[in-house]
Amino acid sequence: MKKRIAILGSTGSIGIQALEVIRQHSDVFELEVLTAQNNIKLLISQAREFKPNAVVIGNEDYYLQVFEALNDLGIKIFAGEESISQIVEMDTIDIVLVALVGFAGLKPSISAIEAGKHIALANKETIVVAGEIIMQMAEKKHVRIYPVDSEHSAIFQCLIGENSNSVEKIYLTASGGPFLGKDINYLKGVKKEDALAHPNWDMGQKISIDSASLMNKGFEVIEAKWLFGLQADQIEVIIHPQSIIHSIVQFKDGSMKAQMGLPDMKLPILYALSYPERLKTKFPRFNFLDYPELNFETPNIKKFRNLALAYEALQNGGSMPCILNAANEIAVDAFLNDRIGFLDIPHILEKSIQSVEFIKNPTFEDLIATNTEARKKAEELIKKI
């Protein structure tokens, strides 16, 4: 039987690449659900091509347009944020690809786990904000979480067949983004166009800015703790500009495993959807002779303070990662809309962490309240800049 897929966030970068994977392996995968927030033109186009069982448009204002465009195909059409969480409970879904951006991915992920659906997780904020809650729920429901981030997919692949107790350390690689080698004075004047110009990866706007600030790597550090049961001192970030080695596991006997390949998000997407099988692809192959040198260096956390803030949030735990994520979503949006400078982002994050109430053992309801409070505080800070 074909594996039946629901894609939450089909019009974003990950969603589009996932559909390309499904298109190339239509004999293995079948699309059951597509969701999007606002991009109805692309959503309608995707639905007409793949003919899923159901479509959800998050913005209810667009329901009628989507309904009229797809009514002739007999596709079920739903609208609203709540519908996105409810649709993952469908019996005909085998695996849910969560490709939503930011905090919005948390509730649908929880709904999918409660429904016993395996998850291909491209929304790192879900684990950053509620890692302990998510992993406990997944274990209770016997749900597998397959990481789609290239770095966590690499670690996951390196650990296949290994005893997790034998892990001494993992190394998460980072390209360094578009500002690698630039000094702090240069960063004062960068524009969003500069930050969006990632040298290796094709990503959405929000994650591209996070990559440029190393916030993305900071979130991956927090995510790695929960996905792989590690402590902060077992997770190290190294800059690797070529993005060929996607991450490394060092075992307690001193041996190391690295997962390598050309920088292409379709590879970790495919692995997450097809696990435990590896499907043959026509993707370009890596050639060592094209890369006579692979370089590595230590990240400059004085220049990229977001990474240091992420480690602080990891050490403190509780609601602090939630505060960090919420403030970052607001700050990145402000930067993308030319309201603040690039170096204002870590300032807003740090002040938000200091200002919002810290909860040591938050419930899901606490995290919802913390997210709201942190967003409000970040907006207040932005208005003062």
Contact 340, 382 (CB under 8 A): yes
Q: With 90 as the cut, is the pLDDT of residue 249 above it?
A: yes
62, pLDDT greater than 90: yes
Range in 169-178, 191-200, 267-276, 315-324 the model is least confident about: 191-200
How confident is the model at residue 203, as a pLDDT? 75
Q: Measure the CA–CA gap between 359 and 176, rounded to whole angstroms.
A: 33
Share of the chain above pLDDT 70, in %: 100
What is the pLDDT averaged over residues 60-69? 97
| Measured distance CA(163)–CA(377) in Å, rounded | 44
Residue 304 sits at φ, ψ, to 5 deg, of -110, 80
Task: Point out the least confidently predicted range of 15-29, 143-157, 188-202.
Answer: 188-202
Q: Please report which residue ranges of 73-123 form alpha helices under DSSP H.
A: 81-87, 106-114
Q: Is 190's pLDDT higher than 80? A: yes
Give the pLDDT score at 232. Answer: 93
Q: Taking residues 256-275, what's their average pLDDT?
A: 96
> Residue 163 pLDDT more than 90?
no
Domains of the chain: 3-147 (3.40.50.720), 152-263+297-383 (1.10.1740.10)
> Mean pLDDT across the stretch 291-300?
95
In which band, very low, low, confident or very high, does the pLDDT at 135 lie, cut at 50, 70 and 90?
A: very high
Answer yes or no: is pLDDT of 245 > 80. Answer: yes
SS3 of residue 182 by DSSP: coil
pLDDT > 90 fraction of the chain, expressed in percent and rounded: 90
Mean pLDDT, all residues of the chain:
95
**Side chain identity at residue 236, one-letter code:** E
Q: In angstroms, rounded to a whole number, what is the distance separating the alpha carbons of residues 358 and 316? A: 9
344 pLDDT band (50/70/90 cuts)? Answer: very high
The string of pLDDT tens digits covering residues 198-239 is: 877 777 899 899 999 999 999 999 999 999 999 999 999 999
Summarised one tens digit per residue, pLDDT across range 22-49 is 999 999 999 999 999 999 999 999 999 9
Q: What is the DSSP letter of 283?
A: P
Q: What integer pLDDT is reported at residue 165 of this predicted model?
A: 78
Q: What is the pLDDT of residues 95-133, one digit of tens each?
A: 999 999 888 899 999 999 999 999 999 998 899 999 999
Burial status of residue 68 (CB atoms within 10 A of its CB: 0-12, 13-18, 19 or more) = exposed
> Above 90 in pLDDT, residue 70?
yes
Query: Would you state the pLDDT for residue 164?
Result: 74
Mean pLDDT of 335-362: 96
| pLDDT score recorded for residue 200 | 75
What's 297's DSSP letter?
B
